[in-house]
Amino acid sequence: MVHNDYIPKLAHILEIKEEVGGARPIKTFRTQFQNKNDFSFRCGQCAMLSVFGKGESMISISSSPLVKDYLQFSILKMGRVTSALHEMQPGDIIGIRGPYGNGFPIKDWKGKNLIFIGGGIGLAPIWSVLNTALGKKEEYGDLTLIYGARTSKDLVFREELEEIKKKIAVHLSIDVEESDWNEFVGFVPQNVTDKKPSPNNAITITCGPPIMIKFVIKALEDLGFKDEQIYTTVENKMKCGIGKCGRCNIGSHYVCKDGPVYSWAELKKLPQEY
């Protein structure tokens, strides 16, 4: 039989959790393949999710590869496919193909301090690598999470964050003042500057809106981080996931295949086309 990567495997939704409500809702989906799970992936990789009749959408995997029982996706309702996903119920069937992309080079990060910097839904790709590092905490140095959103209601994984706070340093922020908020108020880059993480033996992983990433990188540079110490993810519109359909390229790189993870040193060399 010919291997046909365009054909998704069927999976059912085990559980749906509402993370954020309002006009830009986010839900987290746990899914399980109908047949045996031979889907092995690396942190930072993505999967192409199908809602049959609506189409496909590339979503980053937010669970850790250490978790074998389910694949988790945290999805912002944005267009045709993600709206359909938000309408779904546990038990409904979706298609999954992949995994796609390069993933984070976590093997090279052993023994290093990891600083995760996320904004809004950008915590999803970070979540996979953060939980992997937490699962093998002895292999890494200090772990730190700096995470923010527009309001306290826009923060994802709120319950889990409370758990994680017990294990590692977590610095949360919201953009504007709220009563009952005891942590930082301001944008994520400002929180980075405020918390002054040390560049010593450290790697930072930052995901979020492009404008946030831009200023986080600037803040990190000011703190003395080198380009090679800063990792981020890029997104572009994707269809095939395997570098053939031609639309997600940045220069000669196809983000679906050669990305989405780039060090700032690598990204700097590419044209600004994302």
Partner 1 sequence: MVNLEDLKNEAHKLLKEGTVKYIIGYERGTNGLLPIPAFIKNPEDVERLIWDPTCVFNLTRFLVDEKRRKASEKEPDERPVGVIVKGCDSRALVVLLQEKFINRDDVYILGVSCEEAGVLDEKKLAKTLKGKKAKNIEFTKNDNFVVMTEDGKTEISAKEILAERCLECKANFPVIYDILLGEKVKRKSDKPFGSLEKFESLSKEERWTFWKEQLDKCIRCYACRSVCPMCYCDECVADTINFAVTADTTAEEKAQKIKWAEKSPVTSENFVYHLVRAIHLAGRCIDCGECERVCPLDIPLRLLNKKLEKEAKELFDYEVGFDPDQPSLVSSFKDEDPEDFIR
Partner 2 sequence: MEKILTKKSFPQWVKKLSLYKIYAPVRDNDICNLEAIDNPESIDLDCSNTVLSPKKIIFPQREIYLEFETSDENKLQVKEILPEETPSVIFGVRPCDAKALTLTDKVFSGDFKDPYYWKRRNSTTLIGLACNIPPSPNCFCLSVGGSPHSKEGLDILMTDLGDKYFVESLSEKGSTLINLAKPLFQQPKAADKKAVEKTQAEAEKKIVRQIKDIKKIPSILENMFDSPLWDKESLSCLRCGICTYLCPTCHCFDINDEVSSSSPVKGKRVRTWDNCQFPDFTMHSSGHNPRPDRSSRLRQRILHKFQYFVELYKDYQCTGCGRCISKCPVGIDIIEVLDKVSDYGS
Per-residue binder mask for partner 2 (CB under 8 A), 73-92, x = binder: -----xxx-x----------
Site for partner 2 in 202-241 (CB under 8 A): 235-237, 239-240
> Can you tell me which of 54, 86, 150, 195 binds partner 2, judged by CB under 8 A?
54
- The residue among 195 and 239 lying less far from partner 1, judged by its C-beta, is 239
Task: Select from 109, 116, 130 the least CA-distant residue to 228.
Answer: 109
- The residue among 98 and 197 lying less far from partner 2, judged by its C-beta, is 98
What is the phi/psi pair of residue 271, to 5°?
-65, 155
- The answer to whether the beta carbons of residues 205 and 114 sit under 8 Å apart is yes
Judged by phi (left if over 0) then psi (alpha if -120 to 50, else beta), residue 270 lies in beta
Helix 188-195 and helix 210-222, axial crossing angle in degrees, nearest 10: 20
Q: Which does 23 bind (CB under 5 to 8 A by kind): partner 2, partner 1, none?
A: partner 1
Work out whether 74 is an interface residue with partner 1 (CB under 8 A).
no
Q: How far is 191 from 116, CA to CA, in rounded Å?
A: 12
> Can you tell me which of 79, 90, 135, 210 binds partner 1, judged by CB under 8 A?
79
Q: Which does 224 bind (CB under 5 to 8 A by kind): partner 1, partner 2, none?
A: none
Interacting span for partner 1 (CB under 8 A) from 80-88, 117-125, 140-148, 153-161:
80-88
Residue 229's identity, in one-letter code, is Q
Work out whether 52 is an interface residue with partner 2 (CB under 8 A).
yes
Supply the minimum distance, in Å, between the C-beta of residue 80 and partner 1: 5
Supply the minimum distance, in Å, between the C-beta of residue 85 and partner 2: 13
- The answer to whether the beta carbons of residues 127 and 53 sit under 8 Å apart is no
Work out whether 150 is an interface residue with partner 2 (CB under 8 A).
no
Work out whether 82 is an interface residue with partner 1 (CB under 8 A).
yes
Interacting span for partner 2 (CB under 8 A) from 46-54, 104-112, 179-187, 225-233:
46-54
> Can you tell me which of 17, 77, 195, 239 binds partner 1, judged by CB under 8 A?
77
- The answer to whether the beta carbons of residues 197 and 108 sit under 8 Å apart is no
Q: In what order do the strands lie in the sheet with 261-263?
A: 184-185, 169-174, 143-149, 113-119, 202-207, 230-233, 261-263
Q: Which does 77 bind (CB under 5 to 8 A by kind): partner 1, partner 2, none?
A: partner 1
| Dihedral over Cα of 184, 186, 191, 193: its sign | negative
Supply the minimum distance, in Å, between the C-beta of residue 217 and partner 2: 18
Q: How far is 32 from 65, CA to CA, in rounded Å?
A: 14
Work out whether 214 is an interface residue with partner 1 (CB under 8 A).
no
| Dihedral over Cα of 132, 47, 126, 245: its sign | positive
Q: How far is 63 from 154, CA to CA, in rounded Å?
A: 20
Supply the minimum distance, in Å, between the C-beta of residue 240 and partner 2: 7
Which parts of this chain interact with partner 1 (CB under 8 A)?
23, 77-80, 82-84, 86
